[in-house]
Amino acid sequence: MMKVLGIFGSPRRGGNTDILLEEALRGAEKEGAKVERLYLTDFNITPCIECHGCDQTGKCVILDDMQRIYPKLLESNIIILASPIFFYGVTGYTKALIDRSQALWAKKYLLKNPSSKIKRRGFFISVGATKGEKLFNGAILTVKYFFDTFDAEYGGELVFRGIEGKGDILNHPEALQQAFETGRRLVLGMKEGQSHLKKGGIR
């Protein structure tokens, strides 16, 4: 069973990225995936305190809600992270989660013990109010580096400029449609990859 984890990184419930991610998850469900929704505002995630407590173990020493999220990241085949742009980056909620993946980075790069038992793919959804060409560049770099810590191959992003008020994305039905199709395609793509593997294909 294909497992999809949707991470809702906006503090605004029912806002634009929430709506888009929900569409993507509905698309994934349509293709038979088992979907879990994770709203970061429901979790208390302390920022990384740079204690290097994970360097020797690959495990974070801070015993907060993030401890429940690590296994979810590792058990999922597809991780769709949604965050609006706040000051050219992801939201604080999202960044706290990402910085805490330092433990996974340590496991992979210091302890040379990658988390790659199952095939994973990561995807990013974002919106911003302004229209600049570089609006998403910072966030995309951050998210790519995050996915790499647990060997989720970067599957791309779906981003929309000029979206500001709560629910404004609803005025763009083509965006919702794209999000739905993205969820479907991610699941179909992973299924295809797996059947190639089973057939002893080249990958």
Q: Which is nearer to ligand FMN, 87 or 202 (CB)?
A: 87
Cβ at position 116, least distance to ligand FMN in Å: 31
Interface residues toward ligand FMN, by CB under 6 A: 10, 12, 15-18, 84-88, 127-130, 135, 163-164, 166
Structure tokens at 192: 């295809």
Cβ at position 129, least distance to ligand FMN in Å: 4
Pairing of strands 3-8, 34-39: parallel
Helices (H), 31-151: 66-75, 92-100, 102-105, 137-149
Residue 156's alpha-carbon distances to 50, 123, 174, 188, in angstroms, are 29, 5, 18, 15
Q: Which is nearer to ligand FMN, 82 or 103 (CB)?
A: 82
Cβ at position 87, least distance to ligand FMN in Å: 5
Closest residue (Cβ) to ligand FMN?
15
CA distance 181 to 8: 18
Q: Which is nearer to ligand FMN, 24 or 187 (CB)?
A: 24
Cβ at position 161, least distance to ligand FMN in Å: 7
Residue 70's alpha-carbon distances to 100, 149, 176, in angstroms, are 9, 11, 29
Q: Which is nearer to ligand FMN, 2 or 135 (CB)?
A: 135
Phi, then psi, of 111 in degrees rounded to 5: -95, 0
**Sign of the C-alpha dihedral, residues 62, 64, 66, 71?**
positive
The end-to-end CA distance of the chain, in Å, is 20
Cβ at position 105, least distance to ligand FMN in Å: 26
Q: Which is nearer to ligand FMN, 13 or 68 (CB)?
A: 13
Cβ at position 32, least distance to ligand FMN in Å: 27
Q: Which is nearer to ligand FMN, 57 or 137 (CB)?
A: 137
